[in-house]
């Protein structure tokens, strides 16, 4: 049997009772359908970068998606300055970004260095440094669990939001491939939307730089936080950011310390002029000033008294020494160690600020 400690970036988890790795798209579809028809439990696995499996392992069939390929589709006549790509689900995500950056195509360059496979990208609607997959995703090829049909699902039907999608909340099936639309005009990145990235590049928010230059800056930034796999760096054995940045009401955010980082999740509503006699539209939350605000989970963790490198005595799991959002395996950690530390962090933040941090990885056989 193969342990999940060999299949996940966090390096924890017990054995998979049965592991299959179909080599082609057709084999992947056939194998998955056959697995679904059997009575035992099943689990679809990509790069294992966003997964925590119990020490007892998984008593069922694990279908590991390893199909690879990047295909440039026929240029779209209505979009001469864009390029369409079809990406197989098992293609490592960073390999896709590396390929597009080398061509000077923009749209996903700030998503450089995110581990895992491409098929998992729309499930989480991956995002970093001011970009999200949602802005470039056109559609997915989806093997629907309810109908056993391979269908094309437009991105607009996936309910893509902050680190979430309909695929994460009830729509069962397998992402077989992605279709992406990227800009193919100047060789420049999309406007930079993240302050730290702009500072690293020595430019201003909203500026554009060569795509390859922005990719290099993102990789440098991620490496400084232990967010790139490096066998010599113990902080890189993680599942990436373990908690999502919480989204709260503006009223709640006002009760936090003045130095708590916060970002509005929607732009201010524009003023509207109505003709005489027109019906007055309902007053929206934004018009009443009731905005939702995104907070920094890292700031909340640090201000609750948990510092970088923190570990519960006797545990082999620890907070990264470079970035408080990551829980790392210092060597020999168990899933129980990881969950215990994550629960402790949740408790401290809740006690100090009244905010319930939500885990970003998928938890199998364990819970917080």
The length of the chain in residues reads 368
Degrees (nearest 5) of the Cα angle 328, 334, 339? 70
For residue 152, the Cα-to-chain-centroid distance in whole angstroms is: 22
Question: Please, what's the b/e burial string for 322-358 (b: 16 or more CB within 10 A of its CB; e: otherwise)?
Answer: bbbbbbbbbeebbbebbbbbbeebbebbeeebebebb
Strands 15-20 and 58-64 come out as parallel
Q: Are 297 and 247 in contact (CB under 8 A)?
A: no
Q: Can you spell out the DSSP letters for 56-81?
A: T-EEEEEEE-----EEEPPPPTT-TT
| Contact between residue 140 and residue 152 where contact means Cβ atoms under 8 Å apart | yes
Task: Describe the strand order of the beta sheet including 238-241 as a list of residue ranges.
Answer: 238-241, 326-329, 317-319
Residues labelled as active-site residues: 163, 241, 360
Tell how many helices (H) and how many strands (E) occur in the chain: 8, 19
């Amino acid at each position: 049997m193969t342990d999940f400690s060999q299949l996940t970036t966090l390096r924890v988890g017990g054995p998979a009772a049965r592991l299959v790795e179909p080599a082609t798209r057709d084999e992947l579809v056939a194998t998955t359908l056959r697995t679904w028809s059997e009575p035992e439990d099943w689990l679809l696995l990509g790069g294992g970068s966003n997964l925590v499996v119990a020490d007892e392992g998984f008593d069922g069939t694990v279908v590991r998606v390893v199909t690879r390929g990047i295909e440039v589709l026929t240029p779209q006549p209505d979009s001469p300055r864009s390029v369409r790509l079809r990406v197989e689900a098992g293609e490592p995500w960073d390999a896709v970004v590396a390929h597009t950056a080398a061509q000077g195509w923009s749209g996903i360059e700030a998503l450089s260095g995110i581990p895992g496979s491409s098929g998992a990208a729309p499930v989480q609607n991956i995002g970093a440094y001011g970009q999200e997959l949602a802005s470039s995703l056109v559609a997915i090829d989806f093997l629907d669990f309810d109908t056993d049909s391979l269908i094309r699902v437009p991105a607009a039907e996936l309910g893509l939001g902050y680190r979430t999608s309909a695929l994460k909340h009830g729509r069962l099936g397998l992402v077989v491939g992605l279709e992406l639309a990227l800009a193919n005009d100047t060789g420049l990145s999309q406007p930079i939307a993240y302050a730290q990235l702009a500072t690293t590049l020595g430019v201003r928010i909203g500026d554009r730089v060569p795509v390859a230059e922005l990719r290099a800056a993102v990789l440098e930034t991620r490496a400084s936080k232990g967010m790139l796999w490096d066998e010599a760096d113990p902080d890189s054995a993680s599942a990436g950011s373990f908690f999502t940045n919480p989204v709260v009401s503006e009223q709640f955010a006002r009760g936090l310390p003045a130095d708590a980082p916060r970002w509005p999740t929607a732009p201010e509503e524009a003023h509207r002029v109505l003709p005489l006699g027109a019906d007055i539209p309902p007053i929206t939350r934004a018009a009443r000033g009731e905005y939702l605000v995104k907070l920094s989970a890292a700031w909340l963790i640090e201000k609750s008294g948990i510092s970088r490198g923190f570990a519960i005595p006797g545990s082999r799991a620890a907070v990264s020494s470079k970035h408080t959002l990551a829980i790392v395996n210092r060597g020999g950690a168990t899933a129980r160690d990881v969950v215990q530390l994550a629960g402790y962090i949740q408790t401290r933040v809740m006690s100090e600020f009244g905010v319930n941090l939500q885990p970003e990885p998928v938890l199998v056989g364990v819970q917080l």
